[in-house]
Structure 1
Amino acid sequence: MTSFSFLGRPWVRRPLTITALAAMVLVSFLIAARPASAHGSAIDPPSRHYGCSNRWDTTWDNPVMAKLDPMCWQAWHANPAAMWTWNGLIQDNVRDDHRARVPDGSLCGGGDSTYAALDVPGYWRARDVNNTFTWTMHDQARHGAAYIHLYVTRQGFDPTKQKLTWNDLELVKDTGPFPDSGWPTRPGDPILNGVDYSFQISAPGRTGRHIVYAVWRAGHADQNYYMCSDVRFPGGNPDPPADPPPPPLPADSGCHATYQRVQQETGRFQGEITVTAGATAITGWTVTMQFPNGQVVDSAWDATVAAAGPNWAASNVGYNGTVAAGASRVFRFLGNWLITNDPPKLSCKAA
């Protein structure tokens, strides 16, 4: 393991990072060995694998992601190489018999065990659409299409509880063959640097969550790509909240705590808590931290910190529990954050 200075303190890189580097080497090998596989996928509404890669490519090992996007979290940790190769979910030489090559329950992963985590039911990030909407995919290799078959799940299918089968789908569009020419390009985008194919889809009678499923057979060979895009039509039941509101913290008892963010960089931050005794001396203290954005405490010094339900509890260590009346003690911690890093609410209880 590698030790380096982070935010003013020595820190040991977690083994997970070594795993990530190994996965990156694997991805490089896969792409080098099979360049034709780098074609593309649906980008709007995004396929599950493109959406996960696009949102979390550089932060996939940050534990805050488990709360912010739990379905992508499980997919990344099932196989990070699969998420990095979002443009390579392919089956060769299918001879148009997609049902035989891609069995029921494995449609989102294209019948490939590498991408099996995409088949797990749950609350994948869904795009709000109307019953007539535009579907767009990106073709990096510019091979056009022998066809794209576009399906929408039938009313009554629940993607949060059911794996997708062929009988759950209704074919709503067959594009037929077309070349890659005449479509919008993205020459300045380092990731999406090919052409976009867009089609209008109509899915009357649908409400709530559904899956748009696409089968794209490339125009130059019998290469077939499969993709699930999660959508939400008007009506239907709303998604449950990712986390119920936490209960209010108890009032301070015998001490008071204040918070200061000492330093911050992408995905990581250092916080400092000052514990001040009240009108009488105390012999121990516990500070409860309630973070509003799913932040995760990674390590601490001058305190013992552990998860406590939706909160984090920090208690004194042996040498700093005794605090004279009106005096203070300080402890610091390292944490993980994503998107937003608002300060925590605090509650202090003296022993």
Structure 2
Amino acid sequence: MSTLIRRRSTPRRAAWLIAVGAVVALLLTTALANSVSAHGSVVDPASRNYGCWQRWGSDFQNPNMATLDPMCWQAWQADPNAMWNWNGLFREGVAGNHQAAIPDGQLCSAGHTSSGRYNALDTVGAWKTSPVTNSFRIKFYDQASHGADYIRVYVTKQGFNALTKPLAWSDLELAGQIGNTPASQWTPEAQGVSIQVPANAPGRTGRHIVYTIWQASHLDQSYYLCSDVDFGGDAPTTPPTTTPPPTTPPTTPPATGGCAATYRVTNSWTGGFQGEVEVTAGASAIKSWTVTWTYANGQQVSSSWNATVTSSGATVTARNVAYNGTLAAGAKTAFGFLGSSTGTNTAPTPTCTATV
């Protein structure tokens, strides 16, 4: 009889153990998910993986990404979780010794953290840039409202070439920082909080990397984030005053001044390339400039910085933006762009016109 009872109770006990185990597993999974699903990142200028998620998260299988945004394309192919988990690029237990924990060449992946999930962010190339001035602010978004022991913002030194050189600690200069700031002092967001950190990088022009270290306050958890920017110079701190337009048009058009433009390809890959045009004022100062060129091999411009670029068929027109139209005699400025090509990529000869 006792044996019969044990035989009848064994399935019940097994079922009970399985049910308890399932509940424990569910609770553990939920706890782990809650602990890692909400952290933070620099959202302006966007970190590399946040920017890729922002641009392509709803369309990440679009093959056009390969030519329109090749650095994001290679990152999505390497590990999509680097973008889906844009808020989890951190290391634990660093104890403030960042340079010892992260080798040169691995700064953007936090030293190949998370079993190499973010390794593609270290890839050297033409990452999409955000335009900034020499005095700028980074916006950090914290989904979990951890607050900060500190946030430090670094900028690469003038002369650093982000298109050819892996990022090293010696390439960086501190441009701004804040100390201990609890989340209660951050700006409330729909989900989480945000804070802006002022930074100043005098003398920077062109493409650079902004490197942000966020030391979260809830435990020894350090975030390491690369944002690609393009310094176009200092913009006015206050908007210019405006006057009502005249009731009648002017009787004479603005005088035309001289300028010259040179076109060059700075980087290329299968199906795409990056270009730069340098504009030089002539013997007199100018107030604005327009550069035009015509492609002979079907090239198309997909994005640009430091100029407003439009296309009509094979003809491309680039006009200055607010902060780089006025040039002294002989002064120079430059703008850049990304383009697509089908193989042959003959450089066109640009023409430049200006007003004085």
Q: Same fold (TM over 0.5)?
A: yes
- Which deviations, in whole Å up to 9, do the C-alpha atoms of 1:293-327 show, x marking residues without a partner? xxxxxxxxxxxxxxx9469xxxxxxxxxxxxxxxx
Matched to 2:226, the amino acid is: C
Which residue is equivalent to 1:179? 182
2:145 counterpart of 1:142 = yes
More helix by percentage? 2
The within-5 A match list for 1:85-234 is: 85-112=85-112, 113-187=116-190, 193-234=191-232
Structure 1 residues 228 and 238: CA distance shift in structure 2, 3 A: farther
The within-5 A match list for 1:215-254 is: 215-234=213-232, 242=272, 245=295, 247=297
Which residue is equivalent to 1:35? 34
Tell me, in whole angstroms, the C-alpha distance in 2 between the residues paired with 1:143 and 1:60.
30
Tell me, in whole angstroms, the C-alpha distance in 2 between the residues paired with 1:225 and 1:93.
11
TM-score (norm 2): 0.57
TM-score (norm 1): 0.58
Question: SS at 1:181's partner residue?
Answer: helix
CA drift of 1:40 comes to 0.8
CA drift of 1:32 comes to 6.4
Structure 1 residues 123 and 238: CA distance shift in structure 2, 3 A: farther
Tell me, in whole angstroms, the C-alpha distance in 1 between the residues paired with 2:204 and 2:133.
9
Tell me, in whole angstroms, the C-alpha distance in 1 between the residues paired with 2:154 and 2:199.
9
Which residue is equivalent to 1:82? 82
Count, aligned residues: 221
Structure 1 residues 248 and 206: CA distance shift in structure 2, 3 A: closer
Matched to 2:136, the amino acid is: F
Tell me, in whole angstroms, the C-alpha distance in 2 between the residues paired with 1:178 and 1:238.
46
CA drift of 1:185 comes to 2.0
Matched to 1:219, the amino acid is: S
Tell me, in whole angstroms, the C-alpha distance in 2 between the residues paired with 1:203 and 1:219.
27
CA drift of 1:239 comes to 7.5
Structure 1 residues 33 and 62: CA distance shift in structure 2, 3 A: same
- Structure 1 residue ranges without an equivalent (≥5): 1-28, 188-192, 250-290, 293-307, 312-351
C-alpha contact 1:149 1:175 (8 A) present in aligned 2? yes
C-alpha contact 2:177 2:197 (8 A) present in aligned 1? no
Question: SS at 2:55's partner residue?
Answer: helix
- Which deviations, in whole Å up to 9, do the C-alpha atoms of 1:173-224 show, x marking residues without a partner? 231111011322221xxxxx21111011100011111011011110111011
Matched to 1:232, the amino acid is: D
- Which deviations, in whole Å up to 9, do the C-alpha atoms of 1:91-125 show, x marking residues without a partner? 01111111111111000111122101001111101
C-alpha contact 1:143 1:219 (8 A) present in aligned 2? yes
Tell me, in whole angstroms, the C-alpha distance in 2 between the residues paired with 1:54 and 1:79.
16
Which residue is equivalent to 1:70? 70
Question: SS at 2:154's partner residue?
Answer: strand
The within-5 A match list for 1:263-282 is: none
Question: SS at 2:61's partner residue?
Answer: coil
2:61 counterpart of 1:61 = yes
Matched to 2:214, the amino acid is: W
Tell me, in whole angstroms, the C-alpha distance in 1 between the residues paired with 2:167 and 2:120.
13
- Percent of matched pairs sharing the same residue: 47
C-alpha contact 1:41 1:227 (8 A) present in aligned 2? yes
- Structure 2 residue ranges without an equivalent (≥5): 1-27, 234-262, 276-294, 300-312, 315-340, 345-356
C-alpha contact 1:36 1:141 (8 A) present in aligned 2? no
Question: SS at 1:73's partner residue?
Answer: helix
Structure 1 residues 54 and 30: CA distance shift in structure 2, 3 A: farther
Tell me, in whole angstroms, the C-alpha distance in 2 between the residues paired with 1:61 and 1:233.
31
Structure 1 residues 90 and 207: CA distance shift in structure 2, 3 A: same
Question: SS at 2:66's partner residue?
Answer: helix
Larger radius of gyration: 2
CA drift of 1:30 comes to 9.2
Question: SS at 1:108's partner residue?
Answer: helix
Tell me, in whole angstroms, the C-alpha distance in 2 between the residues paired with 1:107 and 1:163.
9
Question: SS at 1:185's partner residue?
Answer: strand
CA drift of 1:59 comes to 1.2
Matched to 2:117, the amino acid is: T
CA drift of 1:36 comes to 2.9
C-alpha contact 1:79 1:114 (8 A) present in aligned 2? yes
Matched to 1:247, the amino acid is: N
Tell me, in whole angstroms, the C-alpha distance in 1 between the residues paired with 2:30 and 2:202.
40
